[in-house]
Amino acid sequence: MKLFQETIVTPLPSDELIKRHERFWRLNLPELFIEFIKANNGVKVKEASFDCNSRNYLIERFLCMVDDIENHPDGVYDIDVVFSQIGERLTDNEDLLGAEVLPIASIFAGDFVCLDFRRNKLAPSVCVWSHEESGEFDPVTYTVADTFSDFLNIIE
């Protein structure tokens, strides 16, 4: 996977910002994902693809964490912004507080790569969330990898 280093969103997320997001989402992000976002916040990728569900998906960019989304030029790529836009389509639990499927990368044509905490709160899998197939409180996801580490290893 080739990263366009010049597209990394700065400032990079602090430990405090990450912890604040984790409290809001009511989950703990995997350490490898935290390391990745702290080094590659919102980075665009070149020709990064993977196969899932008999399809090939092309990653456009990883999402970011920024402190001031309204005044940051890349605020639209903030995980919280994306989560708030599609949140009711990421869960089937109308009473959920926090998150259980968290978008982390945008895929060509409107889908997202997500961390999926539904089966294991401590070790999320990675899935593709399908925007065309999902409805309000009716998410459609396809498992890509058992861990974020496995996901990074399958990206071509």
Helix (H) or strand (E) segment spanning residue 128: strand 125-129
The string of pLDDT tens digits covering residues 2-58 is 999 999 999 999 999 999 999 999 999 999 999 999 999 999 999 899 999 899 999
Domain of residue 30: give its range. Answer: 2-154
User: What's the structural domain count of the chain?
Assistant: 1
Which residue shows structure tokens 């926090």?
98
Mean pLDDT of 101-119: 95
CATH assignment of the domain containing 146: 3.40.1580.10
Question: Per-residue pLDDT tens for 139-156?
Answer: 999 999 999 999 999 997
Tokens coding 100? 């259980």
CA atoms of 3 and 129, how far apart (whole Å): 22
Give bridge partners of residue 1 from the DSSP assignment. Answer: none
Sheet hosting strand 125-129, strand order edge to edge? 2-4, 44-52, 55-62, 101-107, 112-116, 125-129, 141-145
CA nearest neighbour of 46 among 109, 110, 108, 126: 108
Average pLDDT value for the chain: 94
Residue 29 gets which letter from DSSP?
Answer: -
**Amino acid, res. 119:** R
